Every structure is written in structure tokens, then in C-alpha cells.
Amino acid sequence: MRESELRLLMKAIHFAAGKHRAQTRKDVDSSPYINHPIAVAMTILDVGGVTNVATLAAAVLHDTVEDTETTHDELVREFGTEVANIVTEVTDDKTLSKQERKQRQIEHAKQLSRAAKHVKLGDKICNVTDVLHCPPAGWTDDRKHEYVEWAAKVVHEIRGTNTELEEHFDQLVAS
């Protein structure tokens, strides 16, 4: 990895940590939110062998537009068009209902760029891992099952992207 690429990745981690600093996950431990996007990047790197720095940076930044006051234009200024566009591809429209957002993820998954599909796979792996092993407080077994089934539908639409990530997801769901 070149120094400029390393700087971009570290800048993305620093930026995301600042944007998510006051946020926590919904698990019973209220884990720091930043752990999730870092885990997504680590998963696509370690499991999927993805080494493209723009993709890894986008993985770290993937929830900033959706869950903070970050804008697409801000990401373009800070990280360039390629990274910003990957983030935008995986960003849900929060003006829609939760059910509509979930359906759109299934419907639009095939249209994602390869980089965005990698981020989406990493996100689904990390979210399902959390739901199965450290679920949000108060989630019933039925709700966990529904989430896993929905995530599997999204992953089904992007199969053929990364065998290692897809097999990892399948093993996770089968356990």
C-alpha cells in the first residue's frame, strides 16, 4: 500500500470516528458505533481479500451519510468522488419507512458497483454476527430470525461478487 493510500484510509477512520463519536450500537453493551464500520472494513479485507483502498475507506465511511450529518459533497471534498459514490450507493434513504428501505436494499442490490457490493456484504456479515451473538436489547428470536432472512435476501441478490465473503455469510447463517 502506498503512503497516499494509507493516509486516505487513516483519514477515513479518523473522520468516521469523529462523526460517530456520540453514537452507540443497539446491543445490550451499547458498544461504540465506530466499532461497526471498522469491523466491516476488516471483514472485507480479512475474509474477502479486498485491498482496494477506496473500497476499504468507503466501508469505514458507509454509515456516515445515513446516520450522521455528513453529506455526499463533504465526502467528495474529503475523500474524492470514487469513495463518496460507493458510500452513496449503500446509503439508505431515511425519509422512507423502515420496510420500504429494506425492500429497496433487496431490489437495488444487483445494480450496485462491485465495490459497493463488497461493502454491502461486509455490512450484512457484521450485522448478522451482531444480531446472532450480541443482539439489540429486547430482540426476540423471531425478530432475529426475520433480520437474518432479510439479510440473506440482500446477499442473494449480489452473489457472484466475492466467494469468500458469500461463503462466510452462509456459514454464519447456518450456525
For the annotated catalytic residues, the residue numbers are 66-67
Three-class secondary structure of residue 127 per DSSP: helix
**Cβ distance 156 to 83 under 8 Å?**
no
Residue type, 97: S
Of 64, 23, 19, 18, the C-alpha closest to 40 is 64
Question: Using CA atoms, how far apart are residues 9 and 126, in angstroms rounded to an integer?
Answer: 20
Three-class secondary structure of residue 25 per DSSP: coil
